[in-house]
Chain A
Amino acid sequence: MNPRDSSLSPSPSDRRLSALARHLISPSEAGSRGGADVISRSLASSYSLAGGDSVFSHVSRAPEDPILGVTVAFNKDPSPVKLNLGVGAYRTEEGKPLVLNVVRWAEQQLINDRTRVKEYLPIVGLAEFNKLSAKLIFGADSPAILENRVTTVQCLSGTGSLRVGGEFLARHYHQHTIYIPKPTWGNHPKVFTLAGLSVKYYRYYDPATRGLDFQGLLEDLGSAPLGAVVLLHACAHNPTGVDPTLQQWEQIRQLMRSRKLLPFFDSAYQGFASGSLDADAQSIRSFVADGGECLVAQSYAKNMGLYGERVGALSVVCRTADVAGRVESQLKLVIRPMYSNPPIHGASIVAAILRDREMYNEWTIELKAMADRIISMRHQLFDALRGRGTPGDWSHIIKQIGMFTFTGLNSQQVAFMTKEYHIYMTSDGRISMAGLSSRTVPHLVDAIHAAVARAV
């Protein structure tokens, strides 16, 4: 189709050109037939319809996802000393992915159970999984649970829970702004924007102290519009590893309640951060204890090692059971046109583990072992850097908590480490401690030392 031939009726590609060009030229030109030709002619040279005149000609190639793209690059690297400190997936001392024993145990149980079928789950997912997940995060004796004020729906891990929660708020909550910490997990702004919320930031990380900018946080939340939604990392902040203290959490809670700010917790590391499931849920539980409302996105990707199974849950704590029932019915309307109902396998594993005392205990032991290994890596890295005399204060490595360390290295230093030492990490200087082992710490120390020592 020759775009200059104005005797033909507008082709689909012409219509798309028109749609795009409306941004570039005045409305009066765009509306007329003559306008369509103007657009076509002016864009024809830059808009090639070669290659079979595809209707997808105008679709550009998206860049790799920055976080997952790190693993893509890592996989391509042939170096024998390469180290993947990108994605937050746990690795053993041997550098291997880990499937928990208790998970294998649960899977064997599921396979042996001849009564099991693969019928569609309800839209809200596996009922037993939902109940047990709520108890896990809020505490079995939580008044919100006892009073039936919580609705919990199974979602696709943390991401899916955040997305469903965001869509729900965009449709049913009066305030469409969500405040997220600066920095935060790279996918957060995209999730909430596509859900229909507008994203703003509150100060969080202080590069000078490599700790929490608490004053900045209080100021920014203090000047947020009344009722705005606020995303909080329940523990083990990603990417910084910097968490508020209990006292700071209390101040945050009071400030938020006084301004009617709606908390939306992202809980991706319960039990994985400190080794204690209860301790890592403390921030959430203190908010629920004051009787107020909140949303919680839970993920079992890390703490049960169920990454690829996509298991998670969205809970909405409401003031009354009646409201919770209505909220649940509306959550279903978000889910049904997105994927109808959630996948059964991962949720069945979680339910099997949480419902059985022996399996639950086994899980807590394996969970603590993972958390302990990460803490030990922190100490090893810190000691090694200090021993090496690498310039700088590296104590943040042992002060930060969870899977990630915000090293404070800048993007040039990161690029240098990747190129010269085959260390793969995100360009914000975040490293996954879970990807380190005693064997690989020396190599990382060499790389950091060289990166810091070189003139920028």
Chain B
Amino acid sequence: MASAMLSFASAAASASASLPVHENLKGKTKIGSVNFGSSVQERNPFGKTKHFGRVSMTVAVNVSRFEGITMAPPDPILGVSEAFKADTDEKKLNLGVGAYRTEELQPYVLKVVKKAENLMLERGENKEYLPIEGLAAFNKATAELLFGAENPVIKQQRVATVQGLSGTGSLRLAAALIERYFPGAKVLISSPTWGNHKNIFNDARVQWSEYRYYDPKTVGLDFDGMIADIKAAPEGSFILLHGCAHNPTGIDPTPEQWEKIADVIQEKNHIPFFDVAYQGFASGSLDADAASVRLLSARGMELLVAQSYSKNLGLYAERIGAINVVCSSADAATRVKSQLKRLARPMYSNPPVHGAKIVANIVGDPALFNEWKAEMEMMAGRIKNVRQKLYDSLSAKDKSGKDWSFILKQIGMFSFTGLSKTQSDNMTNKWHVYMTKDGRISLAGLNLAKCEYLADAIVDSYHNVS
């Protein structure tokens, strides 16, 4: 409200700036507040200023129309890297953003990606607009990668696939589809979940609520709570599920638990909505990491899947992903795809070509595809090694008898340490270890050499800070 008043006042105020100087000195610089009950639709650009009750404001001339805008807080996840950069301590460790690092803690561009880019440049491909739905070869490859090329949903053409701006953009398209075609429907998100999920649904104007997921007592899955909350949700809700390597906890349901999750979803006619950001990156196997998605689609359910190639192909900045909608008929898939296009066009018209071509080239070439699988196994393997070393260091250094084995049970890039916000702050302030306030560390940013230091920091923060 205040900004509206300021804006109205400034509208009147800066109008006087266009007067000749001598007019200004006649006292038009003092502006009373504008009664914002009245319409601003006056022909006289200098307006009539009224007093609003006994409040009157003096506003300087030439005030910005955006004067009332406040400084937004920094993004909690991406802001961590910014703070890390500013830290000059040599012991600093960035376990914030989930971007893979080598043992030397350097960013990594996959060899197979470089090969693909060289091929693309040699071929001299053009830069024409992609169709709104993206690169056809990419869409085909990504759906087949996710479901398996022989999957009935693919064979029967029941999947609507639209290239999206990595995971975020694909989730946003899905959210926009839900807002338009399922008004009043709710999305259930895990507690906790990736911090940006709620922002996406908020901006898309889709209601959301949480289902229990993380159990701090066990540093494991609150399975009964999860099932109960999914069961209690209104029929036809969308259930946001992490396909594998849950972010931020690293805790995934077991195959048996996935079956039970599928049962309750079917019972309540809910619609599964998968976020698959780590296919191949979690276990090292593309197929194993897609098991949950394939299990639910094998039940004949209609479902949504957002995919990202940021981590598994290291294509973070290229923004390449896809939204897939599995429908019960090919006709429904055609219609859904057309409506996804209708949502993408006023957002960015058509998606960027570069990342899509990289993926299509790699997946489409058997030799490159095999190379990719090997590099992905290497990345997943490094993270597993680091988990092991961290666990060993923690067990050795922590004499309290606390069970740190959850580090080994969790999977993927992240570990939910169980540290509280103040303990996480201690990690940063005392130990220069950068992580998110929810206690999440990115193991991708850790190497074997730093495990002992990190273990010291964790043990100190856990036991000495409350």
Contacts and interface: CB of A to CB of B under 8 A. Distances in A.
Interface of A: 9-12, 15-16, 19, 51-62, 65, 68, 72, 87, 89, 97-99, 103-104, 107-108, 111, 116-123, 156-157, 159-160, 163, 172-175, 187, 190-191, 193-195, 223, 225-227, 257-260, 262, 291, 293, 301, 305-310, 316, 318-320, 323, 325-327, 329-330, 332-334, 336-346
A238 to B, nearest CB: 13
B172 A338 contact: yes
A55 B325 CA distance: 11
Interface of B: 3-4, 7-8, 11, 14-15, 18, 40-43, 45, 47, 62-72, 74-75, 78, 97, 99, 107-109, 113-114, 117-118, 121, 124, 126-132, 165-166, 168-169, 172, 181-185, 196, 199-200, 202-204, 235-236, 269, 271, 302, 310, 314-319, 325, 327-329, 331-332, 334-336, 338-339, 341-342, 345-355
A12 B235 contact: yes
B40 A226 contact: yes
Contacts of B236: 11-12, 15-16, 55
B352 A174 contact: no
13 contacts: A15-B184, A16-B236, A87-B129, A111-B118, A120-B317, A260-B15, A308-B130, A326-B70, A329-B71, A332-B75, A334-B203, A337-B204, A340-B196
Contacts of B271: 55
B329 A107 contact: no
B11 A260 contact: yes
Given A120-B97, A157-B348, A340-B169, 10 more contacts: A52-B329, A159-B347, A160-B347, A172-B66, A225-B41, A226-B45, A330-B69, A338-B165, A338-B168, A339-B169
Contacts of A87: 129
Contacts of A11: 235-236, 269
A12 B267 CA distance: 12
Contacts of A19: 183-184
The 4 closest A-B pairs by CB, nearest first: A12-B236, A52-B328, A308-B353, A344-B317
A353 to B, nearest CB: 14
Contact of B341 (A62, A316, A336): A62
B346 A89 contact: no
Nearest to A161: B348
A226 B41 contact: yes
A89 B69 contact: no
Nearest to B172: A338
B317 A55 contact: no
Contact of B353 (A61, A193, A309): A309
A318 to B, nearest CB: 5
A440 B359 CA distance: 37
Given A62-B339, A226-B42, A119 B317 contact: yes
Contact of A62 (B42, B66, B342): B342
Contacts of B107: 117-119
Contacts of A98: 126
Contacts of B202: 337
Contact of B128 (A65, A156, A308, A310): A308
Given A12-B269, A120-B317, A308-B353, A160 B65 contact: no
A116 B106 CA distance: 12
Given A258-B45, A323-B66, A343 B354 contact: yes
B123 to A, nearest CB: 11
Contacts of B75: 123, 332, 336
Contacts of A330: 69, 72
Given A332-B75, A339-B165, A258 B15 contact: yes
Contacts of A307: 127-129
B78 A123 contact: yes
Given A56-B336, A327-B66, A258 B18 contact: yes
B319 A227 contact: no
Contacts of A61: 334-335, 338
B349 A187 contact: yes
Nearest to B171: A337
A138 B115 CA distance: 39
A294 to B, nearest CB: 10
Nearest to B269: A12
B40 A227 contact: yes
A116 B109 contact: yes
A318 B14 CA distance: 14
Given A56-B302, A226-B47, A332-B75, A121 B317 contact: yes
Nearest to A122: B78
A52 B347 CA distance: 32
B121 A339 contact: no
B66 A326 contact: yes
Nearest to B200: A337
Nearest to B234: A15
Contacts of B40: 175, 225-227
A9 B268 CA distance: 11
A191 B347 CA distance: 7
A190 to B, nearest CB: 4
A25 B180 CA distance: 21
Nearest to B65: A293
Contacts of B15: 258, 260
Contacts of B168: 336-340
A345 B166 contact: no
